[in-house]
Every structure is written in C-alpha cells, then in structure tokens.
Chain A
C-alpha cells in the first residue's frame, strides 16, 4: 500500500515568494494533519482536517499560512509571503480515524527560505 506522499521533498526559495506544499493521504483515511518540525519548537501541529473539513487551525502561526483539502486525496499548505523563519521540515500525516489509530507520516518537505 502506498503511504502518505508529500511533494516536493526539498524546496529552496527566496524570502517573499509563495510556497506550496502538497500531500496525498493514504486512501481511505479520513483525517489529515499538517505538522512543522524545527529544532527550537519540535513537532507542532498546524492544522488538521476530517473528511476534507478543517477542524482545528489554531496551530497555524500567521495569516501567511493557509491550508486546503479540496478532496479526499489531496491537501495543500501554502505560505505567502514566505519568510526565513518559516524554514523547517513540514510533515503531512493521515489516519483512518483518531483514538486508537496511529497517524502515518509522509517523508516530509524540507523548506529553506533564503
């Protein structure tokens, strides 16, 4: 079975540019989560969806960040405009439901904003 697929794996861009990160969850999973990982703050939950509907976006740091899930097989996390402090590894994870079910993570996108 295919796991969670994220693209791109690496992104290097200049400050001020728009960045779009993509995620394809595991088929049949109802929940999708976006995380950010940095040395200083560890793993942070940014936002999560249930059946394509955003449930909690309290972790989204600023209005520069937005996330969408137009259908069950695709989600995007967008940063506009990007800033150097946005440099981090961004993970997408999915699970069939919460509680007992573990979240399955993608390989992450390593984002560097110059």
Chain B
C-alpha cells in the first residue's frame, strides 16, 4: 500500500524564519515519483517540484529547497527566510511507477506572520 504522511498539521512562523515541512512516504515499489504542491489562500493547487526515486540529489530553487532521503523515506521541504506570501497549505504526493493515481498527504498549513 502507498501512503503519504504529513505529520505537521499547522506551522506558524514569523517572517524571515526558516521552516521545514516534513513528508514521509510508504511504498513497496522501487520506482516512484514524489511531488510537492502549494495551495495558497486563493485556492488553486500549484505544482512546485517533482523527484523520481533514483535521484536523491537535493534541489534548491531560490528560497526553496528539497531534501530527498530514501533511507528514511522522506522528502522534506525547507523555506529559507520565509515571507508572508509563503502562507499556504503545502501538499506532498506520491505516485508509483505502475499507477496513474497520485496519493496526497493531508497537507501542512503554513502561516507566516509579519
């Protein structure tokens, strides 16, 4: 069975703080794909990043960085120097190689206060 766990339901930080959103996944497949999506208060779901199971290289995009560790089945997301505009619900998702369905976590609501 496949599962994505985002244990942090809600996180509140003050602007300029660094924050890490945790994502732990479960799958028996050796080939799989991981995704992060952002849902701002306006409601749309925005794709942020994808990773395949053979690529454990971390990625940095501006203030955003992602740490993929197969040993701990984690795909964590860090925002450096957070800003109010980062306030959103962030979803981690998993898809196995031989399936079409995307398995979403329950999301982490991030609130960044000025």
- 1/0 contact string of B57-93 vs chain A (CB within 8 Å): 0000000000000000000000000000000000100
Interface residues on B, range: 20 to 34
Identify B43's interface contact among A45, A98, A99, A107, CB under 8 A: A107
* B45–A105 CB distance below 8 A: yes
Bound-complex Cα distance A100 to B34 (A) = 9
Residues from chain A with a CB closer than 8 A to the CB of B100 are 31, 48, 50, 55-56, 98
Binary contact readout B89-114 vs A (1 if CB under 8 angstroms, 0 otherwise): 00100010101111010110000000
A23 to B107, CA, bound (A): 25
Whether B101 and A105, one on each chain, are in contact in the complex, defined by CB atoms closer than 8 angstroms, is: no
Answer whether residue B3 sits at the interface, using C-beta atoms and an 8 A cutoff.
no
Partner of A102, one of B35, B43, B106, B107: B35
State whether A43 touches B95 (Cβ < 8 A). Answer: no
Check: A34 CB closer than 8 A to any chain B CB.
no
Q: List 12 A-B contacts (CB under 8 A).
A: A31-B100, A33-B102, A45-B102, A48-B101, A50-B100, A89-B43, A91-B45, A99-B33, A100-B50, A104-B47, A105-B45, A106-B44
Mark B residues whose CB is within 8 Å of A: 33, 35, 37, 42-47, 50, 52, 91, 95, 97, 99-102, 104, 106-107
